[in-house]
Structure 1
Amino acid sequence: MMQKGAGLINIAIDGPAGAGKSTVARKVAEQLRYVYIDTGAMYRAVTFGALRAGIEPGDSEQVGSLAASLDIRLLPSENGQKVVLGGEDVTEQIRSREINLRVSRVAAIEQVRTRLVSMQRELAGRKGVVMDGRDIGTHVLPDAELKVFLTASVRIRAERRYRETGQADRVDLEQLEREIEQRDRLDSEREISPLICAEDAVVIDSTSLTIEQVVSQIVELSRTKKVEAK
């Protein structure tokens, strides 16, 4: 539950695929008793909905119309965050390799981003939010008091994804590395809200850091920002 009282800030955590954003953001939110919002899960939910409806990610008009009609909810759970689509728990389904390969194209669709960004800004309106994604500090919450750009080497990110992937979806590590490089290009080169580091963001390279060390750094930074915000 989010803490009450003055001095709450919003924290934006951006970075490429596999940098550990979701895990770090969730743990930071837990320590600060803030609300965690996984924006990537929202784009994955739209991708899953399109896949189920037989809509190709390249069909921007149909995917955009679908996004406007979907009921996406992010709910707290014992294992982090539950993603509910139209009343159905799709938390596990949206993490499949098939979704990984499609989500960047869906996220590049202007109608999809407009719909989801509006939802994300509304959620952050009361402050006390930790939000992660690829354009949070630059586009979704440009006024966030603390912005972090979390990155790591492509190899390390591929190894992390490899360990996370279920046996049924597991592919060769080199193939996974190539897919992450391709996703980096798609996210960085898209016309609508590309993946870039905000000018006022703190860059943290997690290549040689543990999750706990990254979380500790961000929590400490947040304390400084809260003092400045008073």
Structure 2
Amino acid sequence: MTENTAEHARAAEAARTDAAPLVVAVDGPSGSGKSSVSREVARRLGAAYLDTGAMYRAVAWHCLDSGVDLADPEAILEAARTMPLTQSTHPDEDVVLVGEADVTEAIRGAEVTDVVSTVAVVIPVREELRRRQRAAIADAGRMVAEGRDITTVVAPDAHARVLLTASEAVRTARRSGQLAAAGEPGVDAGTLNRQVVGRDARDAAVSTFDRPAEGVVLVDSTELDFEQTVAAVMAAVEEQAGEAARGARPAEKGQGR
């Protein structure tokens, strides 16, 4: 364990000891803003943050890098089971490693985006990653976890559960902005549609994230700016989680893994 990793571990343990346990589950379709909003909510709650979508993207990258046949579900499952994944859970850090390879940026690229749903619809792969996700949530004590089936499958007993959505037009525009910020401006409409609407349609076969399950609060950010969306999610968390949310404190640098 490096000195930096040890420092993170000590800070994470202190955070878990000092604050009440709290699990916030956030689901939503592509471009709904769930990643950026969930990170900010985690900061305000003094919680760790888990991007479960990054796990699926890491498996997709691992398969491409290893030459795994994406038409072979068993081969994809083996890649998922054996993938040496390290993922930061501090809301101010974004680091994803597969073995020694830093894939933080690579997993957001077009090549991975085009195949991630192929990986995500393999049910045993989802079960393997759900196992990892539940372990990360249990280890953190306080965590905001976001994805597509967190409120219903991964953490159905979370203290607070939110489905964050927005109109298709808004979600597509946000995806375009993300690509531009990542150095991929001018992506054609067909590609945008495939990455947002098309991916949602494929993933909907194995996960329900277009409507809230019973007990899940719906937050529609179509007419909201970022701060308003964060405020709406925070209000939903406080309403559901009560004292655990009200007793929160800002996240300390080093919390998470």
The match for 1:144 among 158, 173, 196 is 158
1:227 alignment partner AA:
G
Partners of 1:3 and 1:33 within 8 A in 2: no
Q: Which residue of 2 aligns with 1:176?
A: 192
TM-superposed CA distance for 1:99, in Å, is: 1.3
Partner of 1:221: 236
The 3-state SS of whatever aligns with 2:157 is coil
Residues in 2 aligned to 1:110 and 1:89: alpha-carbon distance in whole angstroms: 27
Partner of 1:48: 61
How far is 1:179 from its partner?
Answer: 3.8
Asked if 1 retains the 8 angstrom alpha-carbon contact of 2:40 and 2:91, the reply is no
Structure 1: gaps (5+ residues): none
TM (norm. structure 1) is 0.90
User: Equivalents in 2 of 1:5, 1:198: separation in Å?
Assistant: 32
Kept in 2, the 8 Å contact 1:25–1:36? The answer is yes
- Whether contact under 8 Å (1:151, 1:204) holds in the other structure is yes
Deviates more, 1:88-97 or 1:178-187: 178-187
Superposition deviation, residue 226 in structure 1: 3.2
Structure 2 runs not aligned, ≥5 long: 1-11, 246-257
Work out which of the residue numbers 202, 209, 217 in structure 2 matches 1:186: 202
The count of aligned residue pairs is 228
Q: Which of 122, 129, 133 is 2:135 aligned to?
A: 122
Q: Which residue of 1 aligns with 2:148?
A: 134
Q: Deviations over 1:198-224 (max 9, x none)?
A: 221111111111121111122233233
Worse-superposed segment, 218-227 or 206-215? 218-227
For residues 39-89 of structure 1, give each alpha carbon's deviation from its aligned partner in whole angstroms, at most 9, with x where no partner exists. Answer: 000100000000111224332111100111011111156853211111221
Map of 2:72 onto structure 1: 59
- The one-letter code matched in structure 1 to 2:201 is R
Aligned residue in 1 for 2:49: 36
Superposed CA RMSD = 2.2
TM-score, normalised with respect to structure 2: 0.81
- 1:162 aligns with 176
Decide which moves more: 49-58 or 16-25: 49-58
User: What letter is aligned with 2:125?
Assistant: V
Q: Tell me if structure 2 keeps the 8 A contact 1:7–1:226.
A: no
Change (3 A) 1:76 1:185: closer
| Candidates 16, 23, 27, aligned match of 2:40 | 27
Shift of 1:34: 0.1
Kindly indicate whether structure 1 or structure 2 has the higher relative contact order, using CA contacts under 8 Å at least 6 residues apart: 2
**CA contact 2:27–2:147 (8 Å) conserved in 1:** yes
- 1:106 paired with 2:143, answer no
Is residue 226 of structure 2 the alignment partner of residue 211 of structure 1?
Answer: yes
The CA deviation at 1:194 is 4.2
- Does the 8 A contact of 1:10 with 1:130 survive in 2? yes
For residues 178 and 85 of structure 1, the distance between their equivalents in structure 2, rounded to whole angstroms, comes to 26
One-letter identity of the residue aligned with 2:44: Q
Partner of 2:21: 8
Give the letter for the 1:218 counterpart: V
Post-superposition shift, 1:18?
Answer: 1.0
